[in-house]
Amino acid sequence: MSLVITDAEVKRNELVLSRVEELGGGYVWEPEVFAVSLLDVAVGDANAKPLAELVGVGQIAIDATDIEFGTLIEIAAVPGLRSLVIKDGSVAEEGLSKLEAMYPALDVQTV
């Protein structure tokens, strides 16, 4: 079932996704699939935080090498987010466990 979003939310999504492309990332935004990937792009907090404003996204994959844990928490809190894929060996197991405990419906994976 697709989420119905407002015109304002569509415009905000488009702005965030445009920035994702400028950074070298990509996305799929179809009626049944909405996924964003910055997995192969090292981004900092300033470029990662807008992902938390997306509406209707089901999966976010991100290289968290230069991202603070607080920003990952903001991204994990996106309503309806089902999967968060994190590329970064420095996110400690304790941090992953904390994300999973805070958002039990969220599938947190590392690559």
Each residue of 48-99: pLDDT tens digit?
999 999 999 999 999 998 999 999 999 999 998 999 999 876 677 788 888 8
Q: Return d(Cα 99, Cα 83) in angstroms, integer.
A: 12
The confidence band for 111, taking pLDDT boundaries of 50, 70 and 90, is confident
Each residue of 2-50: pLDDT tens digit?
578 899 999 999 999 999 999 999 999 998 999 999 999 989 999 999 9
